[in-house]
Structure 1
Amino acid sequence: MTTGRIWSYAPDSGHVEGQDLTGYAVVATDGAIGHVDRQAEPHGMRHLVVDSGVWLFGRSAVVPAGIVAGIDPQARRVSLACTGGEVKAAPRFRIDSETRDPRYLATVGEHYERLVTPRTTTD
C-alpha cells in the first residue's frame, strides 16, 4: 500500500496543520461540487470526505489531500486539481467505514494518482 504524495497536502496548497476544513466549499477545475463533510487520515492516508449533495451526483466522495490545489480560509473554499467528473469517476464511497479501509483507500489513491501524474514532474 502506498502512502505517497497523493495523501499529503502540497506545500503550496495553503494547508495549515490543524486547520479544520469542515464546511468549506469544494471547487473542482470545472465548478463547485459540494462541501467538506469531514477530514480523516487513517494509516497516514489524509483525505477529505466531500458531500456533493443531490444537485451534482448525489453522493459523498473521498478526495486525497494531494488533489487539493489550494485552500482559501477567507472564502472558506478548497480548490481541487481535477474536474467534478474525475471526482465522480473515483471508486464509489458507500459506507463510513470505507474511510478507514486501507484497501479501499489504496484504490482511491490509484485513481487520483493517474490523474495527477501527467500534470506533475517526477520525483
Structure 2
Amino acid sequence: MAENVWSYGQAFAHLVGTDLAGWRVEATDGHVGKVDKHSEEAGDAYLVVDTGGWIFGKEVLLPASTVTRIDLEGKSVHVGLTRDRIKGAPEFRADEHLADRQHREEIAVYYGEGRASGGGPGAP
C-alpha cells in the first residue's frame, strides 16, 4: 500500500492517461461494482465505485492506495479490501465530498491511516 492513501503505488505509474471508467472493481472476496469516475492527480488520486444493485446502488470513494492490481486485458481494478469493508464505507456524494477536506481525512482514516487501530484494507 502506498504511503499516501491518495496515491497509486509506483507499479501503477504506467497507467497515466488510462480511462478506467466502466471497468470492473474486484474486492479480495468478489466483484463489487464498476468505476464511475477516477482521478490520477498526484497526491489526490481515487476511484468512485458504483456498487450497482449489490448494495442498493451506493457509490463509494476509494483512495488510490487501495488498488492492488490492474488487469488491462480484463479491464478490471483489484482492491485490497473486502466487500464488507467497501459496503461499510460512507456513501459518496460528489457535491459534498470532493471539496470537503475533512471528509477526505475521514475516508483516509477509514481505509488507510487507521490501519494501526484495525482500519485499512481488508480490515473488518
1:96 corresponds to which residue?
94
1:102–1:42: structure 2 CA closer, same or farther, 3 Å change rule? farther
Query: Which structure is richer in relative contact order (CA contacts within 8 A, separation 6 or more)?
Result: 1
Which secondary structure state, in structure 2, belongs to the residue aligned with residue 62 of structure 1? Answer: strand
Q: Please, which runs of 5 or more residues in structure 2 have no aligned partner?
A: none
4+ runs of 1 displaced by more than 4 Å? none
- Equivalent positions of 1:1-123 (< 5 A) are 4-13=3-12, 16-40=15-39, 44-93=43-92, 95-97=93-95, 98-113=97-112, 114=115, 115-116=120-121
Q: Could you tell me how far apart the structure 2 residues matched to 1:43 and 1:72 are?
A: 21
Is the 1:40–1:99 contact (alpha carbons within 8 Å) kept by the matching residues of 2? Answer: no
Is the 2:48–2:60 contact (alpha carbons within 8 Å) kept by the matching residues of 1? Answer: yes
Q: TM-score, normalised by structure 1?
A: 0.81
Aligned residues with identical type, % of pairs: 35
Partner AA of 2:89 in structure 1 = A
Task: Calculate the aligned-residue CA RMSD, in Å.
Answer: 2.4
Q: Please, which runs of 5 or more residues in structure 1 have no aligned partner?
A: 119-123
Q: How many residues align?
A: 114
Residue 58 of structure 1: how far off its partner (Å): 2.6
